[in-house]
Amino acid sequence: MVFEIKKLNIVITGGTSGIGYELVKKLYETNQIIVIAHNTDKLEALKEKFPNIHIYNADLSKLQDIESVADILLKKYESIDLLINNAGIQHTPTFLDDDFYYQTISREITLNFTAVCSLCYLLLPSLLHKRPAAIVNINSGLALVPKKTSAIYCATKGAMNIFSQSLRYQLEDTNIQVMQAIMPLVNTPMTLGRGKGKISAEKAAERIIYGIEHGIQDHDIGKVKLLRILMRIAPGLAQRIMKRS
């Protein structure tokens, strides 16, 4: 199903930097953009650059903030047409490293996965309407095959993959499409100093928008397409490659 991204109410989490920022830039002119992020200074700077956007401060690693911002959006916007769950964090130390902190486990799970599930549910009343609507979860190739570091991050992305497919089944008879964009390594503040062969955040945003417009349910972007093929023909090799990534 073709999904026209024009004159829509669009909610983007983590829209102040990286992929989220590029999505704001590309969708701003023809839509009403609603950004949820936790850094007040960055939100205000975004508002200065894009005066007509709506900004909401919330720490999506805290359930109370998730519930509060969802309640505000439900009261303010009768309909939401597109929810893009983009916000995420990644901690790279292994459980054996001296700089691994136990406290990061719950925060990473809540922000990367619980917040996604919660917003999908809490904003459902505004997404259910007569016009086509969509939920788009920004995922990672690590949802398909994990690496050695960032075990919690990999687990949350794997969970998001299954959640997106199951939610799609639940909503298949409604006006809401459920999609996910499965990203390769993207050049963002989160990946600073890590990895090679990254695609730009701008290119990532372009491909995400293309996938939404063309209704691609599980959109493998860039090298993820190769990873998917490798998983079919040589799963052991795919695991060895991704383990070291």
Beta bridge partners of residue 8, listed in sequence order: none
As given in the structure block, the two tokens for residue 143 are 């949802």
- In whole angstroms, give the CA distance from residue 200 to residue 211: 17
Question: Which pLDDT band holds residue 243 (cuts at 50, 70, 90)?
Answer: confident
Catalytic residue selected from 21, 153, 169, 210: 153
Decide if 8 contacts 28 (C-beta within 8 A): no
Active site residue 153: yes
Is the pLDDT confidence value at 173 over 90?
yes
Decide if 65 contacts 110 (C-beta within 8 A): no
Is the pLDDT confidence value at 195 over 70?
no
Q: 95-123: string of b/e by CB count within 10 Å (b at 16+)?
A: eeeeeeeeeeeebbbbbbbbbbbbbbebb
Provide the mean pLDDT of the chain.
95
Instruction: State in Å, rounded, how far the first CA of the chain is from the last one.
Output: 35
Report all structural domains of the chain as residue ranges with CATH numbers, in order of start.
9-243 (3.40.50.720)
Decide if 204 contacts 186 (C-beta within 8 A): yes
pTM of the model: 0.94
pLDDT tens-digit series, residues 109-151? 999 999 999 999 999 999 999 999 999 999 999 999 999 999 9
Beta strands in 22-173 (DSSP E): 32-37, 54-57, 82-85, 133-140
**DSSP string of 13-40, one letter each residue:** ETTTSHHHHHHHHHHGGGSEEEEEES-H
**What is the reported pLDDT for 33?**
98
pLDDT tens-digit series, residues 77-88? 999 999 999 999
- In whole angstroms, give the CA distance from residue 81 to residue 9: 5
Question: Which pLDDT band holds residue 197 (cuts at 50, 70, 90)?
Answer: confident
Nearest 5°: the CA angle 78, 81, 82 is 130
